[in-house]
Amino acid sequence: MLAVVGTVPDQGFPLVAGKATLQGDRLYIQGNEVPVNRGTPALLAAAIKTAETLGRPEPFGYLIGDIGLGDGSRLLYEYLTRHIKENDFSTIAFHYVQPDVDWHNRVLLVVKEMTRRPVLIADAGFMYAAKMSGMASEYDLFTPDVGELAFLADEDAPHPFYTRGFILHEENRVPDMIARAYSHKNASRFLLVKGKDDYVADQGGIRATIKKPAEEALEAIGGTGDIVTGIAAALISAEWEIEKAAVFSARANRLAGHFSKPTPATQVIEIIDHIPRALAELLLGKK
């Protein structure tokens, strides 16, 4: 089973742990309702759509409200250290939480004690903490966008906000940044880099480049990166190989985006609605 760890932008939202379901543009978990805009709810919605298509169970969510004060995230970290071992997850996707190296390390320590070591995916704030802690290589998949890849490539930067200019200038040279991230041990076993072109890479270099269908507007739409991570996480929990799942999820996101006829003003839920069709067409080999 897939577990997804993250936050929702509502300070009053309680700490919940349970199966997540989707109805229209609303996510439901333990009697609580969350609108799907972007962030972890978008990741969960994409994972649910993918799981439905594959006939797999819904993902398990660990969620809490946090608007950036970090209070919710710290409660969530603490809860995970006490409870995450209670379930047998095949895959865990860590997402929007306040980056905190100390808490990250405590959670990782507990996860490593699990009876069956899950496949570990990190994106957003948890990926920042994983890089800062020097533990990036403990993870199986990071899913950065190009700006975040520059941060992974900069061994000195404690956050993307402090990425050095000479690395930001290399943004048209994604392969170089990938190599730099690996050379400083700031990358996971596989990287799925989301951007104008998507890249799947490992220590040995670029494994795949995904360019089509090309929809330039997707870069402006908040939550498209979360969709890719959600689809990849659901595929990996369905026992797909990581590399294959990463390539497939990038293609599925592009295709779902293409079906939504996106403009820079499109909202992510409009793309999520097209995930089942995109997955079906890719699985049938039509695209």
Which positions touch other proteins (CB under 8 A)?
7-9, 37-41, 66-70, 72-73, 96-101, 123-129, 132-134, 145, 147-148, 151, 156-165, 168-169, 171, 216-217, 219-225, 263-267
| Residue placing its CB nearer to other proteins in the complex, 178 or 238 | 178
Q: Count of H helices and E strands in the chain? A: 11, 11
| Residue placing its CB nearer to other proteins in the complex, 46 or 97 | 97
Min CB(263)–other proteins separation in Å = 7
Cα 262–Cα 199–Cα 280 angle in degrees, nearest 5: 55
| Residue placing its CB nearer to other proteins in the complex, 6 or 118 | 6
Min CB(227)–other proteins separation in Å = 12
Phi/psi for 91 (5° steps) reads: -145, 140
Min CB(171)–other proteins separation in Å = 7
| Residue placing its CB nearer to other proteins in the complex, 29 or 129 | 129
| Residue placing its CB nearer to other proteins in the complex, 65 or 118 | 65
Min CB(224)–other proteins separation in Å = 7
Choose among 274, 41, 224: nearest CA to 33. Answer: 41
Q: Is 55 left (phi over 0), alpha (psi -120 to 50) or beta?
A: left
| Residue placing its CB nearer to other proteins in the complex, 167 or 278 | 167
Alpha helices in 29-164 (DSSP H): 39-54, 71-83, 101-112, 124-132, 146-153
Q: Tell me the two tokens of residue 254.
A: 């592009």
Min CB(29)–other proteins separation in Å = 16
| Residue placing its CB nearer to other proteins in the complex, 25 or 219 | 219
Min CB(42)–other proteins separation in Å = 9
Number of neighbours of residue 24 by Cβ within 10 angstroms: 9
| Residue placing its CB nearer to other proteins in the complex, 134 or 276 | 134
Min CB(124)–other proteins separation in Å = 3
User: Can you list the pairs that 179-183 forms with residues at least 24 positions away whose Cβ atoms lie under 8 Å?
Assistant: 179/205, 180/153, 181/149, 181/152, 181/153
Q: Tell me the two tokens of residue 274.
A: 């097209």
Min CB(235)–other proteins separation in Å = 22
Inter-axis angle of helices 275-283 and 224-237, to 10 degrees?
A: 50
DSSP string, 240-286: --HHHHHHHHHHHHHHHHHHT---TT--HHHHHTTHHHHHHHHHTT-
Number of neighbours of residue 90 by Cβ within 10 angstroms: 15
